[in-house]
A = this chain, B = another copy of it.
Amino acid sequence: MWNMKQLAYGALARRANQIKDELRQGVRKPYKEVIDVFQGDLHGAGMKPLTFVRQVLAACVYPPLINSNNLPLDVRQRAQKELGRCVGGSVGSYSAAAGIPEIVHSISEFIKRRDGGIPSHPENIYISPGSQWSISNILNVLVNREASPRTGVLIPVPCYNITVLSITQLGAVTVPYYLSEEQAWALQVEELQRALESAKGVCSPVALYVINPGNPAGYVQSQKSVQEVIRFAWEKRLFLLVDELYQDCVYGENCEFVSYKRTLSEMGPPFSGTVELASFHSVSKGFLGECGLRAGYVELVNLDPAVMKHIHTIFSKDSCAPVLGQIALDLMTDPPKPGDPSYPLYKQVGPENCTLVINSLPGFSCPPLEGGLFAFPRLNLTPKAVQKAKVTAEMQEDPDTFYCTRLLEEGGVFTSPGWEYGQKEGTYHIRFCIAAPQDIMEELLRRLSSFHMTFMKDFS
């Protein structure tokens, strides 16, 4: 089901870079620039950073700017406040291992507001250099390397592939549960049950990993669905690892993000006091899109104090998260208020058009996008295309890699093939980021349509 060769990405990325070089050297292609929507990298895809965020960070980096009249007053005040929290007044010093205490506190206030007043405790929050880093480290605590049978972790299909890699690298076994594509990628408890049964004799599952809102598929779980998952985790004594990176990217009609933490708390006893939960968030996604700053956080719920101590040791090992990333987290969780000079203006790119265009293409189908940064449409390849892919030596076995490669070569659009995220046998998908600026998205959809029509004709 999974195919952990990083080669396809490597090969595609290398080729994308080559093509970019060729274009710079004046080689003629049917396009002038490669549209790079492979990663969930908003700035890489052309989105502009928020001015307020960048002004505050610049003033923190170079404090004489705090006295400059060229920056808005609230920016300068905020920078002063942030520097006051840094050891020695410099972003160049280490912070506490869990993060700058005042910023950890401001994250807990953000969570409390988000969850309708349910308390969040700063001592349960750890800031890290990106969310993958904390996912790996929490997994490190959960996985017993010497256990026989091995430790198992239930993971969705499709799933963000780096998390899969983290699990297997620790010597644990992934136990896939399939999201129901036919029902807009719904997470069904019967399927969790089936997956758990399938692990018998293979491994001993200790954790259930969920992604909400989805990546690569753009679903948003209803609160009812979240409740079902929590009840399942409680019954089976599974630790809940919850990727909630896209909590600020929800745009589907009648969709709302409701956190696992909030739902767990609202469910009351016996669930609220027993189900162990780790929820991940970061500055890379959401309205900041600051991937390059490398900062995220995890909130831990219901963990045993002895385990918390162990987690503290692990987080201490790499000193601390980048201080500028920590400050960005503070700006994300405590942004300017209406009336402040820098009250941020931010418009999410409308994804509705995207689903419409994709579904208008023969052979493509995509449930309405509800949240997250990606489209993960299904690609009904003709037998001829599948056959052709299989005989193309380098690309054998991966017809969607074949499609992505040709889309890159001929259409100048850099996407990634579905197999990298897991998909049902015999189905094919592509993933691309939909958070590019409007004009780039329109150009992308034009190129995709035109390439796709030719491709389908060639292999009909």
A72-124 residues at the B interface, CB under 8 angstroms = 86-88, 90-95
Q: Are B317 and A165 in contact (CB under 8 A)?
A: yes
Q: Is residue A335 within 8 Å, beta carbon to beta carbon, of the partner chain?
A: no
Residue A145 contacts which of B65, B145, B313 (CB distance < 8 angstroms)? B145
Q: Is residue A344 within 8 Å, beta carbon to beta carbon, of the partner chain?
A: no
CB of A324 to closest CB in B, whole Å: 6
Are A318 and B49 also in contact (CB < 8 A) when A41-B87, A70-B68 are?
A: no
What is the bound-complex CA distance between A165 and B294, given in angstroms?
24
Q: Which of A53-61, A188-196, A222-230, A385-393 contacts B (4 or more CB under 8 A)?
A: A53-61
Q: Are A319 and B293 in contact (CB under 8 A)?
A: no
Q: Are A130 and B318 in contact (CB under 8 A)?
A: yes
What is the bound-complex CA distance between A322 and B292, given in angstroms?
5
CB of A27 to closest CB in B, whole Å: 20
- Convert A293-312 into 0s and 1s, putting 1 for each residue whose CB lies closer than 8 angstroms to a CB of B: 11000000000000000000
Q: Are A129 and B294 in contact (CB under 8 A)?
A: yes
Integer count of this chain's copies in the complex = 2
Q: Is residue A42 within 8 Å, beta carbon to beta carbon, of the partner chain?
A: yes
A contacts with B: majority SS:
loop
Q: Is residue A244 within 8 Å, beta carbon to beta carbon, of the partner chain?
A: no
Chain A interface (Cβ within 8 Å of chain B)? Answer: 6, 36, 39, 41-46, 49, 54-55, 57-59, 61-62, 65, 68, 70, 86-88, 90-95, 129-130, 132-133, 136, 145, 162, 165-166, 169, 171, 288-294, 313-314, 316-325
Task: Beyond A94-B292, A129-B294, list 20 extra A-B contacts (CB 8 Å).
Answer: A6-B313, A41-B88, A43-B88, A44-B93, A45-B88, A54-B62, A58-B59, A61-B324, A90-B292, A93-B291, A94-B291, A130-B318, A130-B319, A132-B318, A162-B319, A165-B313, A169-B314, A291-B319, A294-B320, A322-B325
Give 12 CB contacts A-B under 8 Å: A41-B87, A49-B90, A58-B58, A132-B317, A132-B319, A166-B317, A291-B319, A292-B322, A292-B323, A293-B323, A294-B319, A322-B325
